[in-house]
Chain A
Amino acid sequence: MMIDPLSVFILLLGAATPILFAALGELVVERAGVLNLGVEGMMITGALAGFAAAHASGSPALGFLAAALAGAAVSMTFAALTQFLLSNQVATGLALTLFGLGLTAMFGKPYEGMKAPAMMPGPLGLNWMIWLGIALVPLVWWFLARTRPGLILRAVGENHDAAHGLGYPVRRMRVLAIGFGGALAGMGGAYISIATVLQWTEGMTAGAGWIALAIVVFAQWNPWGVLAGAWLFGGVTVLQLRLQAAGVAVPVQLLSMAPYLATIFVLVLISARQKFGRSGAGAAPASLGRPFHALK
Chain B
Amino acid sequence: MTNVFRAEGLGKTYPGVRANDDISFGVEAGEIHALLGENGAGKSTLVKMIYGLVRPDEGHMALLGAPYAPHDPRAARAAGVAMVFQHFSLFDAMTVAENIALGMENPPPRPELARRIAELSQGYGLPLNPARRIASLSAGERQRVEILRCLLQHPRLLIMDEPTSVLTPQEAEILFATLRQLAGAGTAILYISHKLEEIRSHCDRATILRQGKLVGTVDPRAHSARELAAMMVGAEMRLVDRSGRKPAAPVLEVRALSTPGGEGMALKQIGLTLRSGEILGIGGVAGNGQEELLSALSGETLTAPGTVALEGRDLSRAGPEARRRAGLLAAPEDRLGHAAVPEFSLAENTLLTAGARQGLIRRGLIDRKAATGFAQEVIRAFDVRTPGPDTAAGALSGGNLQKFVIGREVLGRPRVLVVNQPTWGVDAGAAAAIRQALLDLAAQGAGLIVISQDLDELLELSDRFCALNQGRLSAPRPTEGLTVEEIGLMLGGAHGMEVAHVPA
Chain A interface (Cβ < 8 Å from any Cβ of B): 148, 151-152, 154-155, 158-159, 161-168, 274-277, 279-281, 283, 285-286, 295-296
Contacts and interface: CB of A to CB of B under 8 A. Distances in A.
B25 to A, nearest CB: 23
Contacts of A155: 91, 94, 102
A286 B92 contact: yes
A151 B74 contact: no
Interface in B117-133: 133
A233 to B, nearest CB: 26
Given A167-B77, A281-B133, A296-B55, A286 B93 contact: yes
B53 interface: yes
9 contacts: A158-B93, A166-B103, A167-B52, A167-B76, A275-B263, A277-B262, A279-B263, A280-B135, A281-B93
Contacts of A286: 92-93
A283 B102 contact: no
Contacts of B98: 151
A158 B77 CA distance: 22
Contact of A154 (B55, B74, B94, B133): B94
Given A151-B102, A275-B263, A165 B73 contact: yes
A276 B262 CA distance: 5
Given A151-B102, A166-B103, A279-B263, 10 more contacts: A151-B101, A154-B94, A163-B91, A164-B53, A167-B76, A167-B77, A274-B263, A276-B262, A281-B93, A295-B54
Interface of B: 14, 52-55, 72-77, 85, 88-94, 98, 101-103, 107, 133, 135-136, 261-263
A159 B92 contact: yes
Given A158-B92, A166-B89, A285-B93, A279 B135 contact: yes
Contacts of B73: 165-167
Contacts of A281: 93, 133
Contacts of A285: 93
Contacts of B261: 277
A295 B55 CA distance: 11
A89 B101 CA distance: 30
Contacts of A280: 92-93, 133, 135-136
Contact of B89 (A159, A276, A277): A159
B74 A167 contact: yes
A296 B91 contact: no
A295 to B, nearest CB: 8
A144 B214 CA distance: 46
B80 to A, nearest CB: 14
Contacts of A161: 89
A281 B74 CA distance: 29
A165 B101 contact: no
A148 B73 CA distance: 17
B89 A167 contact: no
A296 B48 CA distance: 10
Contacts of B77: 167
A165 B53 contact: yes
B52 A158 contact: no
Given A155-B91, A166-B73, A167-B72, A277 B102 contact: no
A160 B473 CA distance: 36
Given A165-B73, A167-B72, A275-B262, A159 B103 contact: no
B400 to A, nearest CB: 22
Contacts of A163: 91, 102
Nearest to B107: A148
- The 3 closest A-B CB pairs, nearest first, are A167-B73, A162-B89, A167-B74
A276 B261 CA distance: 8
A73 B133 CA distance: 37
A158 to B, nearest CB: 4
A232 B160 CA distance: 51
B263 A158 contact: no
A140 B397 CA distance: 46
Contacts of B136: 280
Nearest to B135: A280
Contact of A166 (B54, B102, B263): B102
A163 B52 CA distance: 14
Nearest to B106: A148
B92 A165 contact: no
B94 to A, nearest CB: 6
A277 B93 CA distance: 14
B90 to A, nearest CB: 6
A165 B89 contact: yes
Nearest to B266: A277
